Structure 1
Amino acid sequence: MTDDVTLGIAIDCTDPRMLARFWTTALPYVAASPPAGWASWEDFLTACDVPESEWNDGASIEPANGSGPTITFLKVPEPKQTKNRVHLDVKVSGGRRVDPQTRESRIRAKEAELVAAGAVNLTEYLAGDHLDHLVMADPEDNEFCIV
Structure 2
Amino acid sequence: MSGPLDFQVTFDCADPEGLGEFWCAVLGYEREKPPDFDTWEEQLVAWRVPEELWNSRNAIVDPEGRRPRIFFQQVPEGKVAKNRLHLDVRAAPGKTGDERMAALKEEAERLVGLGATQLRVVDPAPDNGEAGWIVMQDPEGNEFCLD
TM over 0.5, shorter chain: yes
Which amino acid is 2:71 matched to?
Answer: T
Which amino acid is 1:92 matched to?
Answer: A
Q: Deviations over 1:34-60 (max 9, x none)?
A: 12x322211211111001111000111
What residue in structure 2 maps to residue 13 of structure 1? Answer: 13
Q: Deviations over 1:67-116 (max 9, x none)?
A: 11100111001110011000011101114xx2412211211111011101
The alignment-based identity, stated in percent, is 37
> For 1:50 and 1:83, how far apart are their aligned partners in 2?
33
What residue in structure 2 maps to residue 76 of structure 1? Answer: 75
Mapping 1:22-61, distance limit 5 Å: 22-35=22-35, 37-61=36-60
Match of 1:116 among 113, 116, 132: 113
CA contact (8 A) 1:93 1:103 kept: yes
What residue in structure 1 maps to residue 97 of structure 2? Answer: 100
> For 1:145 and 1:85, how far apart are their aligned partners in 2?
13
What residue in structure 1 maps to residue 61 of structure 2? Answer: 62
Which amino acid is 1:132 matched to?
Answer: G
Q: Between 129-138 and 101-110, report the one with greater CA deviation.
A: 129-138
What residue in structure 2 maps to residue 140 of structure 1? Answer: 140
CA contact (8 A) 2:119 2:135 kept: yes
Query: Normalized against structure 1, the TM-score is what?
Result: 0.90
Cα RMSD, aligned residues only? 1.8
User: Unaligned regions of 5+ residues in structure 2, if any?
Assistant: none
Structure 1 residues 4 and 40, CA gap change in structure 2 (3 angstroms): farther
Q: Between 106-115 and 4-13, report the one with greater CA deviation.
A: 4-13
Structure number having the greater strand percentage: 1
> For 2:30 and 2:100, how far apart are their aligned partners in 1?
26
Which amino acid is 2:90 matched to?
Answer: K
Query: Normalized against structure 2, the TM-score is what?
Result: 0.90
What residue in structure 2 maps to residue 127 of structure 1? Answer: 124
Aligned residues: 144
User: Unaligned regions of 5+ residues in structure 1, if any?
Assistant: none
Q: Between 43-52 and 1-10, report the one with greater CA deviation.
A: 1-10
Which amino acid is 1:17 matched to?
Answer: E
